Structure 1
């Protein structure tokens, strides 16, 4: 039986996704919020982890910075993302983090079921509509470290908090912030966060 972990911040949504999968195949499905994601991933060792890219907290799964302070999913954790064509930046981030499946949220439930089976079998699955969004997306101009710093700044962390969490000097954090501001063509850090959020990079 295929073990599936469904992660979402909204209880009703993750319960609905879990119920759908249970009704469609031999899936042993567990659903969880972000607070228990790491624990569930470690104990279950799922064959597939389903993540909604638009869900608050999802970006932590796709940190491309291998020196990040924490790990949301226990490896190996093949990830299948639910996405929309309007967030190409998030798609690129998931791709760089080596997500295995990409399902259009506007598609049919059957597409999700098929994608779970494909990813569980070690194959890739990409909806054609999302493939087009990949092609149209602008490349992410920020390095993984700059993304990590900017993401934490966007969450309201101070320079001292970011430095402590990412094991950096405060001056280094400021340098990353300045680089992110420059590379995004922003007027200041707040503008850089706004631009990056709109593009789906953070």
Structure 2
């Protein structure tokens, strides 16, 4: 039996994906939102974790090196990422997670089932459309720490909240955001979030 964990912020999408994968008798499927991702991953110890990096909270959870990132990116669990070929920045970010599988969200349901099987067997699966999008994408100009700060800022966290979550001084958080604003060519923090979301970096 292959244990599959689906992480998605939208309950309806989680339920639909779970229903699809549960149609396979060899899959034991569990789903969760990002706030409970770490606890579910630690309890279930899934063979395959399916994630959508476009979900609110996903970037912040996976980029800060915290409990959720450690649980979801555990080397013992094979990661399968859902991505859209129309957002090259998101596709590049997906490749940076060192996932084993990459499925185009515009693909067929059967393709996802096939991908989970392949990834569970330790084989790489990459939709051709996503590989093409990756080749077209530009490198992300921000460091991992800058992305962590930006992702949490985009989620609405205050400087103090980000500092506590990332174990940084408040002044350091402000310095990171200033660097983000400069590197993205933004006018201010809000503009930096807009530019980064459009590029698919957060």
RMSD over aligned CA atoms reads 1.6
After TM superposition, the structure 1 stretch with the greater mean CA deviation from structure 2, 7-16 or 184-193, is: 7-16
> Secondary structure at 2:23's aligned position in 1?
helix
Structure with more helix by fraction: 2
Question: Compared with structure 1, are the counterparts of its residues 109 and 130 closer, same or farther at alpha carbon in structure 2 (3 Å cutoff)?
Answer: same
- Following superposition, the deviation at residue 127 of structure 1 comes to 0.2
Cα distance, 1:116–1:61 mapped onto 2, change above 3 Å: farther
Moved over 6 A (4+): none
**Do residues 70 (structure 1) and 58 (structure 2) align?**
no
Q: 2 CA distance for matches of 1:182 and 1:138?
A: 17
Aligned to 1:122: 122
Q: How many positions carry a matched residue from both structures?
A: 199
Equivalent residue for 1:182?
Answer: 182
Residue 165 of structure 1 deviates from its aligned partner by 1.9
Q: Secondary structure at the match of 1:18?
A: helix
Note the C-alpha offset of 1:53: 2.6
Give the TM-score taking structure 2 as reference length: 0.91
Give the Å deviation of 1:135. 0.7
In the alignment, what sits opposite 1:171?
171
Match of 2:50 in 1: 50
Report if aligned partners of 2:7, 2:34 keep a CA contact under 8 Å in 1. yes
Q: How far apart are residue 152 of structure 1 and its match?
A: 1.4
In the alignment, the residues of structure 2 paired with residue 158 and residue 172 of structure 1 have an alpha-carbon distance, to the nearest angstrom, of 13
Residue number in structure 2 paired with 1:196: 196
Specify the SS of the correspondent of 2:35.
coil
- The answer as to 2:88 corresponding to 1:88 is yes
Shift of 1:25: 4.5
Residue number in structure 2 paired with 1:5: 5
Which structure 2 residue ranges, 5 or more long, are not aligned? Answer: none
Contact 1:81–1:103 under 8 Å retained in 2: yes
Mapped partners of 1:43, 1:184: distance in 2: 39
Unaligned 5+ runs, structure 1: none
Q: Does 1:31 align with 2:28?
A: no
Distance 1:197 1:121, change over 3 A: same
Deviation digits for residues 43-65 of structure 1, max 9, x if unmatched?
111110111233222224531x5
Q: Residue 157 of structure 1 corresponds to which residue in structure 2?
A: 157
Provide TM-score, normalisation by structure 1: 0.91
Q: Which moved more, 1:142-151 or 1:30-39?
A: 30-39
